[in-house]
A = this chain, B = another copy of it.
Amino acid sequence: MTQIIQMQPQDEFTGYYLLKECEVKQTNATPAKDYMDIVLCDASGQISAKYWDATQTDKETFFPMGLVKVRGLVQTYRDKLQVKIQRIRIATEEDGVNIADFVRSAPVQAVDLVYAIKQAAAGIGHADIKAIVDFCTAKVEDKLMHYPAAKTHHHAYYAGLAYHMARMLELGEFVCKQRPFLNADLIKAGIILHDIAKPEEMTAQLGIVSDYSVKGKLIGHIALASGWIVEAAIHLGIPLDSEPVLALQHVVLAHHNLGEWGSPVQPQMAEAVALHLIDSLDAKLQMVEDALDTTPESEPWTPMIRGLENKAIYRTNL
């Protein structure tokens, strides 16, 4: 079966794909004709597709986020590849295909990532900090298994959020070993909590964010998570004025570093500075790694990466 990243102009192919987007549009012929404007994806990437000969039944059959079997022809349209769909049908149970195989995923199993996060939480020594972390994690328990970390910016795939947390925990552990003056409990807790409200900020399915929620737009994941810490403290009977509550709120509120990046306060504890830097290092190197992974080997340059000052990355031969 042809993977999307390997499609070449003039290829004819038959295979299963995830119907990621799907909309009825009209040609500007006279009279206008309906067609379906589609985005197909698999674990290797995604591609735009046109289904010119959509019937009325077709229009009522296909909806986003379902698996389909497609026969198509790869063409070039305005410098980009595009599929002309020749045949398409909904995949059935008999086809034996599994939707999870058709979405980009973190390179580590979600279950292992969540396990690693739980282990880290379990290793927090300070009882109040641990309890608050557990309370907040419980609020998004199942979403943690599959949510991406962002819409497009970085770790934008199945279990991307858990992957981001797990890698940051590894890096955080190293940094705490290198610099023992840092409070390792706070670093761990900060890593687990800093993006914990993202699943409430965005609506996602199969690792794909379709939109921001009203709550996500009006409050944002930073103030949401800070509110969860307040909520946890109240439920756990931890005084709101106590140092752990202040410190956890601070590291979460400050993790974007600057006001223009969404943090209402700037890092003013060593652990808040460290959390911001660990987050930034992991997110940005992941952007680079993802961009290189999804750019065909033959291309020396990735597309421009918005989170890296709109720069493209050069693939060295060294």
Q: Interface of A with B (CB < 8 Å)?
A: 23-30, 32-33, 50, 52-53, 75-79, 84, 126, 129, 167, 170-171, 174-175, 178-179, 181-183, 185-186, 214-215, 217-220, 222-223, 226-227, 230-231, 234, 240-241, 243-244, 246-247, 249-250, 253, 257-271, 273-274, 277-278, 280-281, 284-285, 288-289, 292, 300, 308-309, 311-314, 316-318
28 contacts between A and B (CB under 8 A): A26-B75, A26-B77, A30-B53, A32-B75, A32-B84, A170-B178, A182-B285, A183-B316, A186-B318, A215-B241, A218-B265, A222-B264, A223-B264, A223-B265, A226-B226, A227-B227, A227-B249, A230-B230, A231-B240, A243-B318, A257-B309, A259-B261, A259-B263, A266-B308, A267-B308, A270-B289, A270-B313, A277-B284
Residues of B close to A214: CB separation below 8 A: 246, 300, 314
Given contacts A218-B249, A316-B269, contact A289 B179 (CB under 8 A): yes
Q: Separation in Å of the A203 CB from the closest CB of chain B?
A: 14
- CB atoms of B247 and A318 under 8 A apart: yes
- CB atoms of A26 and B76 under 8 A apart: yes
Q: How far is the CA of A219 from the CA of B223 in the complex (A)?
A: 11
Residues of B close to A289: CB separation below 8 A: 179, 181, 270
Please tell me how many copies of the chain the complex holds: 6
Residues of B close to A23: CB separation below 8 A: 79
- CB atoms of A285 and B273 under 8 A apart: yes
- CB atoms of A265 and B32 under 8 A apart: no
- The closest CB in chain B to the CB of A317 belongs to B243
Max chain B C-beta neighbours (<10 A), residue from A33, A215, A292: A215
For the A-B complex with A183-B316, A223-B264, A253-B264 known, give 15 more contacts whose Cβ atoms are closer than 8 Å: A26-B76, A26-B77, A167-B178, A170-B178, A174-B174, A186-B318, A217-B314, A218-B246, A227-B230, A227-B249, A230-B231, A259-B261, A268-B312, A270-B292, A270-B316
Max chain B C-beta neighbours (<10 A), residue from A278, A285, A300: A285
Residues of B close to A280: CB separation below 8 A: 277, 280
Q: How far is the CA of A220 from the CA of B261 in the complex (A)?
A: 16
Contact of A50 among B24, B28, B253 (CB under 8 A): B28
Contact of A174 among B78, B79, B171 (CB under 8 A): B171
- CB atoms of B243 and A223 under 8 A apart: no
Residues of B close to A261: CB separation below 8 A: 259
- CB atoms of A316 and B243 under 8 A apart: yes
- The closest CB in chain B to the CB of A214 belongs to B314
Contact of A288 among B183, B273, B314, B317 (CB under 8 A): B273
